[in-house]
Amino acid sequence: MSMKVVLACDLGGTSFRAALVDTQGNTQAETVIAGFIPVDPQGRSECDAEIWWTNLVEAADRLARAEPELFDRIEGIAICGFTRTQVLLSSAGQAIRPAITWKDTRAGAVATRLKAQLAHHPEAEHINAFHPLARLAWMAEEEPNHFEALDCVLEPKDWLNFRLTGQRASDPVSMARLSACTESSGNPSPFQVVGLKPTAIPNIIDPCAQVAKVQPGLPGTLSRLQGVPVFCASNDTWAAVTGLGAMRAGYAYNISGTTEVLGVVGPTASTAEGLMSVDWCGLWQLGGPSQNGADTAAWLMSVLGGAERGFESAAQGIDHLLALPRHPQPILFLPYLQGERVPYWNPDLRGAFIGLERQHTATDLAYAVLEGVAFLNRIVLERAEASLGQPVSEIRFGGGASSNPVWAQIKADICNRPVVVGHAKESGLLGAAIIAWTGTGQSPSLAAAQDQLAAVATRYEPHSVRRGFTTRYFNCLGAVRRR
């Protein structure tokens, strides 16, 4: 039997990844195209959406050259990508201006006014400079000609799906904040207050639903995919959690990159202080993004002069330090180097090392930094579990830091939960493939597809001998934070 594959893509802020993934979740071919999202001192961050389409065309051409026979056996396409970014279309389907990216802060003042104006509406608490409604209200004030021409708002992955199929669609997770603005509670809706057309929100469908089939006349090797179904997919976090096999009630996920995202997936709506509660298509996510992660470790290595000591990367330097013996008396690290998002939402928090003595070394600092981030994970995890009323069975760990066994074990010990690292190097790509295989009917459900494709590489069980230390220091961290 001929091997079957899907085309899975992940549009990230620094790269565009595309792969041919088979029915077992194995990557048969992969390509990466570097990208860049600019931001200037005035808070302007825009990108020509045509660049993302060009990247998709180039990625398809590369995969077709690498695996020409497999490319012609593609059975479905799914594209995930970063969110909080608006591609703005005219009624003719043309981008009326560069896309406004998730980094753009120019709508801050407008957001403050809009938040007060809409104080009666439930969505008001979510409005800030990054909210899509604030961006559109800013455009109405600053670029009235563009606002008048606006017909539809798409996320970047929706824009690529539109170019492939000619159909405008999005998923309820990616479009949640803007969709909430259409609801009215006896007063004019936020949509009406800003003056948006009803067409501004595209057709909303399930992530595994088919948008349409690839249309004829596309450039390059994409023309060979005419008639292949394109599935809606969702944002990068949703896809990565799916690729980790954690898009199921009772699981937690921890995606560790430059910063970290940790959340718990539950069967019903739930809230907890400082955590984001998001409807994930019948499941509920309780958690959210921090300001800490690999960037915190990179900061430490820069302070310790990692480059001058011959380390090619922060990860290499951290690995070297972790291989050396540590002092028996640990250091406590408060990881708030640039404020904190979840669970404190306080930009003024600052970090500290506590308990330093003369015999401590760079190795002790490295352990303290990794443990400090893990303690923050535990705070989020415990708040979410308390709200849900039961502990999670395990934490699925993905992202670049998941390749570090010491950090994975630290997280397991401090959170007192098994930490499970997936087999896939790029969980977002695998998540997109899982969406596509579910959409094609190869798997009967998203849960079944995760069971089949999200293979486990390593499982880290908590060490009971460290439980006393971690609990004692965790309590110390809480005491310091309350002062």
Task: Please give the pLDDT value at position 468.
Answer: 66
In a 13 Å sphere around the CA of 450, the CA atoms on its Cβ side amount to 21
Over 80: is that where the pLDDT of 472 sits? no
Over 90: is that where the pLDDT of 473 sits? no
**pLDDT tens per residue across span 231-276:** 999 999 999 999 999 999 999 999 988 889 999 999 999 999 999 8
Task: Please give the pLDDT value at position 48.
Answer: 97
The distance in angstroms from the start CA to the end CA of the chain is: 66
Domains 5-234 and 241-483 share a fold: yes
pLDDT tier for residue 471 given thresholds of 50, 70 and 90: confident
Pair 269, 285: CB distance under 8 Å: no
Task: Please give the pLDDT value at position 185.
Answer: 76
Question: How does strand 251-256 pair with strand 229-231?
Answer: unpaired
Q: C-alpha 34: how far from its chain's center?
A: 18
Task: Please give the pLDDT value at position 469.
Answer: 67
Phi, psi of 37 (to 5 degrees): -110, 110
What are the C-alpha distances in Å from 327 to residues 140, 306, 355?
A: 59, 21, 12
Residues paired with 256 in a beta bridge: 260
In a 13 Å sphere around the CA of 280, the CA atoms on its Cβ side amount to 29
Over 60: is that where the pLDDT of 483 sits? no
**pLDDT tens per residue across span 426-460:** 999 999 999 999 999 999 999 999 999 999 999 99
- Residue in the block written with tokens 């992530």: 207
122: left (phi over 0), alpha (psi -120 to 50) or beta: alpha
Over 70: is that where the pLDDT of 476 sits? no
Q: C-alpha 27: how far from its chain's center?
A: 21
d(CA 139, CA 425): 39
How confident is the model over 138-145, as a mean pLDDT? 98
Side chain identity at residue 128, one-letter code: N
Of the given ranges (300-314, 375-389, 450-464), which has the lowest mean pLDDT?
300-314
Please give the DSSP secondary-structure letter assigned to residue 463. Answer: P
Side chain identity at residue 231, one-letter code: F
Task: Please give the pLDDT value at position 338.
Answer: 86
Please give the DSSP secondary-structure letter assigned to residue 120. Answer: T
Question: How does strand 5-11 pair with strand 74-81?
Answer: parallel
**pLDDT tens per residue across span 32-75:** 999 888 889 888 999 999 999 999 999 999 999 999 999 999 99
Of the given ranges (13-27, 259-273, 334-348), which has the lowest mean pLDDT?
334-348
Dihedral angle sign, alpha carbons of residues 130, 136, 140, 146: positive
Residues paired with 99 in a beta bridge: 47
Over 60: is that where the pLDDT of 1 sits? no
Please give the DSSP secondary-structure letter assigned to residue 217. Answer: S
- Number of residues assigned to the chain: 483
d(CA 353, CA 377): 18
d(CA 254, CA 368): 19
CATH number of 241-483: 3.30.420.40
Task: Please give the pLDDT value at position 322.
Answer: 95
**pLDDT tens per residue across span 351-366:** 999 999 999 999 999 9
What are the C-alpha distances in Å from 33 to residues 14, 58, 191?
A: 9, 8, 37
* 68: number of Cβ within 10 Å: 11
pLDDT tier for residue 191 given thresholds of 50, 70 and 90: very high
The pair of three-digit structure tokens given for residue 213, joined into one six-digit string:
């089939």
Q: Where are the beta strands (DSSP E) in 190-291?
A: 203-204, 210-213, 229-231, 251-256, 260-266, 276-280, 283-289
Dihedral angle sign, alpha carbons of residues 348, 398, 268, 236: positive
Pair 209, 446: CB distance under 8 Å: no
The pair of three-digit structure tokens given for residue 139, joined into one six-digit string:
């455009």
**pLDDT tens per residue across span 70-108:** 999 999 999 999 988 999 999 999 999 999 998 899 999
The residue among 260, 255, 286 whose CA lies nearest residue 392 is 286
Task: Please give the pLDDT value at position 309.
Answer: 84
- Residue in the block written with tokens 């539109």: 162
d(CA 118, CA 217): 45
d(CA 30, CA 354): 45
- Mean pLDDT, rounded, of the chain: 93
> Domain coordinates of the chain in residue numbers?
5-234, 241-483
- Nearby residues of 204 by Cβ (< 8 Å), 6 or more positions away: 169, 170, 171, 172, 175, 179
Q: Which CATH number fits domain 5-234: 3.10.580.10, 3.30.420.40, 3.40.50.410, 3.40.50.300?
A: 3.30.420.40
pLDDT tier for residue 311 given thresholds of 50, 70 and 90: confident
